[in-house]
Amino acid sequence: MAEPLLALQGVSKRFGSLAALSDASLDILPSEVHCILGENGAGKSTLCNLIFGVHVPDHGTMRFHGKQYHPAGPADALANGIAMVHQHFSLVHDMTVVDNVILGQERGFVNTRAWSQRLEHLANDYGFALDPNAKIEDLSVGERQRVEILKCLIREPRLFLLDEPTAVLLPDEISALLDICRRVTESGCAVVLVTHKLAEIKKAADRVTVLRGGRVVARSDDPAREIDALVSAMIQGDLKSLDKSAASALGVVDGDGDHSHRTGGFETPRREAVQIDGLTVVDGHGVTRLDNFTLSIGPGEIVGVAGVEGNGQSELAAALSGMTAPSSGRIFVGDLETTHLRPKDLTAAGVGVVPEDRHAVGCVLEMTVAENLFLNRLQAFTSFGFLRRKELMRAARELMTRFDVRAASPEVAFAALSGGNQQKAVLGREITLPHLQFLLAAQPTRGLDVGAVAAVYGHIRSACTHGAAVLLISSELDELIAVADRIVVLYRGRIMGNCAADPSERERIGALMSGHAQ
Amino acid sequence: MTDLAADIIRRLSGALRPSVAISVAAVLVAALVGVGLIFALGVSVTDAIAAFIDGTLGTPYAIAASINRSIVFALVGIGFVIANRANLVNVGGEGQIAMGGIAATAVALYGHVGDLPAGLAFLLPLAAATIAGTVWGSIAGVLKIKAGTNEVISTLLLSFIAVWLLYWCVQSPQLLRKPMTSSATLPESLEISDPTKLPLLTGDYSFPLHIGLPVAAVITVVAAVVLTRTLFGLQLRAVGFNPIAASRAGISYSRMVMISLATAGSLGGLAGGLMLLGEQYVLKDGFSSGYGFDGLVAGLLARGSVVGVVASALLFGFLRSGGINMEMVAGVPTALVMVIQGLIVITLAGAAFFMGRRT
């Protein structure tokens, strides 16, 4: 075995009472793609942050190139040749690509042209094109990520950390990214790829380390063959017991997912549960963001909305959830017109909303889990304006058990929960609305791990079997095919086509997503 | 033995929440610098401190005057904390006090309330002061909701308007200036009649504690309970932390902004009314005395806690009295009190900055 580039020995990190990482040991070899696999809260990000110097380990040692390595901060890690792409990008939107790359790397006078040329060469070396003078705000999410990657690669790192890089990418962007990872290793640099998607491991990983509950629970030098064992270690269960839709959406198995809820009593809807007529949203600049969106959803039906992000999905969700007034068009839920209802009245009418941006719209991070679980109906826990805290706590505990929201108590801050648990809490709140008629779920599984994804699908389906209509907006085509009954494709605010949710339609949907009508 | 000492220290620091520790530390740092400055002035530190203590606790009159002043700071500070729960910063206490003073004077002098029974003689001017403050606070709320005007700017500028309105009122005989009998007539209002003056708790002018104290105590308790135990308090916090998520959850942002700024204004107006009807009796230029800003600092120092406001208001109330006496007896400029208050604010802001960097 080659001399490891980075060796972690018994590394531990606690945050308060939470052991984020316990006694973790692993070796990263030169020129390898090393995947860190684990569910949310398993300690993957903590591990990266320790290596990148964001946090200091409580115990254990790190050796880099055989020497003791104690980074004092990210700047120190960078100076040592360790670079990291974070889950959330750190780019200045109204600056150009090259300016963003130069930021933090140069002092005094700046030769922008020389940097542009270097950047273009580098991009070419890795097999993609990128205009150094393009503004970040004009780039797609995938392109922005490439800028982040170039920002790192231009420093010629020896160890390259990527924290959940594929969560925001389209299918072909993901495979392009994995190609880039492979190429990076050709120069002797090691790549650490944090993921919970098994398809990526099959494609790209040389070796895998699996974390669960902050501990290393499995390792593999031949991940493609041992994938089943790795999954079992990650979720502490059997792959066969995994929800079929979740498995297919994550690329573990091929297939059509589980549409068993379709055999419920709602196969031929008697009347529409939700009727959207010519919904149009024009933004403040006079640009039509959503154009004449017309759709009806039957009770117990799941309709998927496919499309590359930024093609009107956010505006559709905002209009349906009472956050934006539509410019024209009407919305009916049952017999009630809800077009201009405020969020409060929509909640009363039985419209549940799982917003796309969980942190900005779905919750108040600084408040407690219990308060967030009932944020839209706290009135139910008051007498004469006073909160009945005990009752709220009891109800919160019940909901936490039912939706498997894991937290020390209902009184901890919502921010202390992992992303998956936050999403389960938001979903739990919206699905348990009294008289739920319509559930709008936008990107409900973004950034979640296998277990949480399966739980989310299960809850959405159970809402259906109780007769609610569901609109599922997602940029993950696999997810839509696995979960929805039928799919409409949005392109530049218009519905490009109506498709069956069937794997055989994948190509046609892909074409519609890029604007090619048939 | 050292183990025991370590244990006690650990328990103590656990009991003091970090916010309390920071506030106490800020006050101590400022006090130390204050002592250093007295020393640098060449004044005997012991004389200065003796004068300070004499001015704060030396006589019943000094104590009552300090408490009356603290009441004003506490009311403005509580208003600041309420607005701050919704992530709003009300710096308009000065103007709200001025509006309260104008309204109280107008009603007390020309509202024909002097003969009314059952305390209405002073309660009506007090109500008028509260309403005037509410209106002044609400203007900032309306501007925020309708035009997105930052409330820091609007409340501050509204303060300037109010202070100059007051100046106009006491300069113009058509408004509140007392009848001009000679060219030496001062630009101030008539003294309000005795029935409209706030009753003293003891009835003794050597201990002039007025009924503002129980009023402020009730308001303190109500504010603390509303903020911590009611749905409204929770909704205010939700709007403060995340207005978008709050509005999606059916909590009206506009409503919360209006209520919190109007309440802050009403408490400022009430404070102005108490100042006029309880102590000054005559409206004149400079009426608000910078108490609006002292109240703001009290709210800032309390770091969101209503109980904390009471503590810091008392601190500043006595600090001011002591400062005045230090100037008269020991020749230390009262500006020193301002320096100490300023230092407290800077220390707090600095502590918040370093705390933010650490996490």
Tell me whether residue A443 is exposed, middle or buried, using C-beta atoms within 10 angstroms of its C-beta: 0 to 12, 13 to 18, 19 or more.
Answer: buried
Contact A443, A474 (CB under 8 A): yes
Inter-chain touch A378–B237, beta carbons under 8 Å: no
A15 & A100 share domain: yes
Q: Is residue A168 part of a domain?
A: yes
Contact A26, A1 (CB under 8 A): no
Q: Where are the alpha helices (DSSP H) in A14-57?
A: 44-51
Strands of the sheet containing A82-85, edge to edge, are A82-85, A159-163, A190-195, A33-37, A207-212, A215-220
Q: Is residue A32 part of a domain?
A: yes
Residue labelled with tokens 């009649």 = B193
Q: Is residue A386 part of a domain?
A: no
Interface test with B, best of A342, A364, A433 (most B CBs within 10 A): A364
Among A346-350, A416-420, B60-64, B115-119, the least confident range = B115-119
Inter-chain touch A343–B249, beta carbons under 8 Å: yes
Contact B122, B195 (CB under 8 A): yes
At CA A104, angle to CA A28 and CA A125, rounded to 5?
A: 55
Contact A422, A365 (CB under 8 A): no
Tell me which residue in A323, A355, A367 faces B241 most closely, judged by beta carbons.
Answer: A367
Is the C-alpha dihedral spanning B87, B126, B208, B47 positive or negative? positive
CATH number at residue A491: 3.40.50.300
Q: Is residue A39 part of a domain?
A: yes
A65 & A145 share domain: yes
Inter-chain touch A344–B250, beta carbons under 8 Å: yes
A357 & A305 share domain: yes
Q: Are strands A159-163 and A190-195 parallel, antiparallel or unpaired?
A: parallel
Position B155 pLDDT exceeds 90: yes
A201 & A70 share domain: yes
How far apart CA A495 and CA A305 sit, in angstroms, is 9
Domain boundary among A243, A261, A292: A243
Tell me which residue in B230, B231, B246 faces A364 most closely, judged by beta carbons.
Answer: B246
Inter-chain touch A364–B235, beta carbons under 8 Å: no
User: What is the CA B309 to chain-centroid distance, rounded?
Assistant: 9
Partners of B85 on chain A (C-beta within 8 Å) are none
Q: Hey, is the C-beta of A376 within 8 angstroms of any chain B C-beta? A: yes
Q: Is residue A393 part of a domain?
A: no
Q: Are strands A18-28 and A67-68 parallel, antiparallel or unpaired?
A: unpaired
pLDDT tens track, chain A, 518 positions: 568 889 999 999 887 767 788 888 988 988 899 999 887 677 888 888 899 988 889 889 999 888 888 888 888 888 888 988 887 777 888 888 888 888 877 677 778 888 888 888 888 877 777 788 888 877 777 778 888 888 888 888 899 998 888 766 666 677 788 888 888 888 888 999 988 777 778 888 889 998 888 888 888 888 777 877 887 777 766 555 556 666 665 555 544 555 555 444 444 444 688 999 999 999 877 888 899 999 999 999 999 999 877 788 889 999 999 998 999 999 999 889 999 999 999 999 999 999 988 888 899 999 999 999 999 999 899 998 899 999 999 999 999 999 888 888 999 999 888 888 898 899 999 999 988 999 999 989 877 777 778 888 988 988 888 889 999 999 888 889 889 999 999 988 899 889 988 888 888 887 888 777 65
Token pair recorded at residue A350: 């039985």
Q: Where are the alpha helices (DSSP H) in A154-289?
A: 171-186, 198-204, 227-235, 244-249
A489 & A442 share domain: yes
Interface test with B, best of A55, A56, A375, A411 (most B CBs within 10 A): A375
pLDDT of residue A197: 72
Q: Is residue A402 part of a domain?
A: no
Q: Hey, is the C-beta of B245 within 8 angstroms of any chain A C-beta? A: yes
Among A334-338, B42-46, B85-89, B112-116, the least confident range = B112-116
Token pair recorded at residue A82: 């360790």
Contact A208, A223 (CB under 8 A): yes
Residue type, A375: L
Report the run of H or E that residue A145 belongs to, with start and end: helix A141-153
Q: Is residue A333 part of a domain?
A: yes
Interface test with A, best of B248, B251, B255 (most A CBs within 10 A): B248
Residue labelled with tokens 């277990």 = A451
How far apart CA A274 and CA B294 sit, in angstroms, is 57
Q: Hey, is the C-beta of A92 within 8 angstroms of any chain B C-beta? A: no
pTM: 0.74
pLDDT of residue A417: 87
**Which residue segment(s) compose the domain that A330 sits in?**
271-362+419-424+435-513
3-state secondary structure at position A352: strand
A309 & A232 share domain: no
The domain ranges of chain B are: 74-292
Inter-chain touch B249–A375, beta carbons under 8 Å: yes
A159 & A226 share domain: yes
Tell me which residue in A362, A381, A385 faces B245 most closely, judged by beta carbons.
Answer: A362
Residue type, B223: A
How far apart CA A133 and CA A150 sit, in angstroms, is 14
Per-residue pLDDT band at B141 (split at 50, 70, 90): very high
Domain count, chain A: 2
CA-based nearest residue to B320, from B332, B337, B302, B306:
B337
How far apart CA B156 and CA B171 sit, in angstroms, is 23
Q: Are strands A386-387 and A382-383 parallel, antiparallel or unpaired?
A: antiparallel
pLDDT of residue B358: 45
Tell me which residue in B230, B241, B242 faces A387 most closely, judged by beta carbons.
Answer: B230
A220 & A326 share domain: no
How far apart CA B306 and CA B241 sit, in angstroms, is 19
Q: Hey, is the C-beta of A375 within 8 angstroms of any chain B C-beta? A: yes
Partners of B229 on chain A (C-beta within 8 Å) are 386-387
A285 & A217 share domain: no
For chain A, how far is it from start to end, CA to CA, in angstroms?
55
CA distance A367 to chain B (A): 7
Q: Which residues pair with A386 in a beta bridge?
A: A383, B230
How far apart CA B272 and CA A306 sit, in angstroms, is 61
CA distance B244 to chain A (A): 6
At CA A122, angle to CA A118 and CA A123, rounded to 5?
A: 120
pLDDT of residue B19: 66
Report the run of H or E that residue A14 belongs to, with start and end: strand A6-15
Mean pLDDT, rounded, of chain B:
87
pLDDT of residue A204: 83
pLDDT of residue B137: 95
Inter-chain touch B244–A361, beta carbons under 8 Å: yes
A208 & A305 share domain: no
Q: Hey, is the C-beta of B235 within 8 angstroms of any chain A C-beta? A: yes
Tell me which residue in A347, A355, A364 faces B250 most closely, judged by beta carbons.
Answer: A347
